[in-house]
Amino acid sequence: MKNKKTVITYGTYDMLHEGHMNLLKRAKALGDYLIVGVTDENYDRSRGKLNVIQSTKKRVKAIEKLDFVDKVIVEKHKKQKAQDMVKYDVDIFAIGDDWIGTFDYLKKYVEVKYLPRTEGISSTQLRRENFDLIKMGIVGLGRDTQFFIDEAQFVSNIKINRIYGDDFLAIKKFTKESSIIKFGHDNYDEFLDTPIQAVYIDTSLKRHYILIKKALQAGKHVLCENPIALNKKELKELLSLAKSKKLILLTALKTAFLPAFNQLLKELKKGDIGEIKEVRATRTSLYREKNYPDSFMEQGATNILSGYPSLLIHKVLGKRKSIKFFDQIEKNYDISNLIITTHKDDAIGIARVATGIKSEGDAVISGTKGYVYIPAPWWLTREFYFRFEDTHKSYKFNYEFEGCGLRYMIAEFASLIQRDKRKSKMLTPSDMVSISRVVLDYNEFKEKSSKKTKKKER
């Protein structure tokens, strides 16, 4: 016979409040030993909890401080609860009655108890009371603007209410039809002069620099599609302007903010696949077939698409030592590019981007003991496989993925503003510089090679 009764409970415990304390004390009173499972931030985000303010570390620390809690664990995935029941020889699973019925499947392992929830308090309410709503404006009326607006509806602390675009008639039509955005502007200074705190920029790549600069000068935080600038001088200037103004300047590379992508980076750090020697990532899209205008394609495959493979390669292999381009040109722009970089310990990055060639959009991270395979489209990371010579050892991760993935990025941007933080850990300014430098180096390389061709022709 066991002489102690083990109780387990789970939760996010963001901004630990009286309701949490009551629940935890009630849970402890059911037995002798209380285990609390705190949900990991990537897991929370994958199950749609996008607005949690405190990091996993902070939330774990707050629970650890409670003298009646005996053990704190981190909950990382959906199936973990059942595994924990066996692992910790649990007798009772307890949770608030807002979850009534949800965990009945655990009854085959333990006794399941739904405890009364404390009325009138929740983390959601505390977040609402403690943080103001962020007003945000959109710069550029593009094909994906509506996606961004729709996805922002899932981020509770942000309100998009304005849009700026050159085409007055198009803007007028858009605001008339939109149930969310009511204010349209065709004058950028006038748009920036409104009480918005932040802007999202999605225009032609050439215009990013000037639009970002003006927004920062007007004191607005900026989220802008990649690349934020097309030459090194401009990139440096924008980053130092954001720094001096204490504003956020974040590249809108949605992959960087996906729960599964962040979990992948965490898992790689455990070293199961040995020393990582190669990262290969492909992203191709036949925009012409999707009826994008020629002017879009003419920006070049590297400028449009390289941000995604560069992100994976930089995050896994770090700073690069050298770079080589193998481009294929149509008219005056690249429709395809194979970008090979070298890194520390002779590791190699292989980025394949194309707007004129279709290929499998997957990614492989190869190590001395095994590899990770991320199926297409790897940049909308949902699942990834750890594979080894001995196939029995292989395992996979699978994450929920809501909408088109933009909401995770918008939530991080809003959370940085609310927490008064300038830098995102998921995409730091130095990540942004490294990723942009691929584009900047390519543009320099292209300029040099076109000068050489002209010389030969003379």
Binding site for ligand CTP (CB under 6 A): 11-14, 19-20, 23, 95-96, 98, 117-118, 121-124
Alpha-carbon distance values, 204 to 300, 309, 310, 314 (Å): 12, 21, 20, 25
**CA dist., res. 378 & res. 260, Å (int):** 10
Nearer to ligand CTP, 18 or 275 (CB): 18
User: Tokens at residue 101, please?
Assistant: 């019925």
Are 439 and 230 a contacting pair, CB within 8 Å?
Answer: yes
Minimum distance, C-beta of residue 71 to ligand CTP, in the bound complex (Å)? 17
Q: Which is nearer to ligand CTP, 14 or 327 (CB)?
A: 14
Between 19 and 356, whose beta carbon lies closer to ligand CTP? Answer: 19
- How near is the Cβ of 48 to ligand CTP at its closest, in Å? 10
CB nearer to ligand CTP: pick between 118 and 194: 118
Q: Which residues contact 58 (CB under 8 A, 6 or more apart)?
A: none
Nearest residue (CB) to ligand CTP, 51 versus 299:
51
Share of the chain residues as helix, strand and coil, in percent rounded to the nearest 5:
40, 25, 35
Q: How far is the CB of 37 from ligand CTP (least distance, A)?
A: 10
Would the CA dihedral through 180, 127, 155, 116 be positive or negative?
negative
Residue whose Cβ sits closest to ligand CTP: 96
From CA 37, how far away is CA 42, in angstroms rounded? Answer: 14
Residue 202 or 412 having the CB closest to ligand CTP: 412
Asked whether the beta carbons of 416 and 248 are under 8 A apart, the reply is yes
Q: 326, exposed or middle or buried, with CB in 10 Å at 0-12, 13-18, 19+?
A: exposed
- Cβ 177 to ligand CTP, closest distance in Å? 34
The phi and psi torsions of 13 (rounded to 5 degrees) equal 55, 45
Per the CB < 8 A criterion, the answer to whether 114 and 8 are in contact is no
Choose among 378, 399, 403: nearest CA to 149.
403
**Residue whose CB is less far from ligand CTP, 102 or 240:** 102
Q: How far is the CB of 108 from ligand CTP (least distance, A)?
A: 21
Closest distance of CB 103 from ligand CTP, Å = 10
CB closer to ligand CTP, 8 vs 160? 8
Task: Give whichever of 73 and 376 is closer to ligand CTP, judged by the CB atom.
Answer: 73
Which residue pairs, CB below 8 angstroms and at least 24 apart, start in 394-402?
394/370, 397/77, 397/260, 397/263, 397/264, 397/267, 399/42, 399/46, 399/258, 399/259, 399/260, 399/263, 400/46, 400/47, 400/48, 400/259, 401/46, 401/258, 401/259, 401/260, 402/48, 402/154
Q: How far is the CB of 59 from ligand CTP (least distance, A)?
A: 9
* C-beta of 122 vs 153, nearer to ligand CTP: 122
Nearest to 299 by CA among 324, 343, 334, 257: 334
Minimum distance between the CB of residue 15 and ligand CTP, rounded to whole angstroms? 8
Nearest approach in angstroms of CB 325 to ligand CTP is 47
In the complex, what is the shortest distance from the CB of residue 67 to ligand CTP, in angstroms, rounded to a whole number?
18
Tokens 């032609």 belong to which residue?
Answer: 204
The DSSP annotation for 49-62 comes to -----S-HHHHHHH
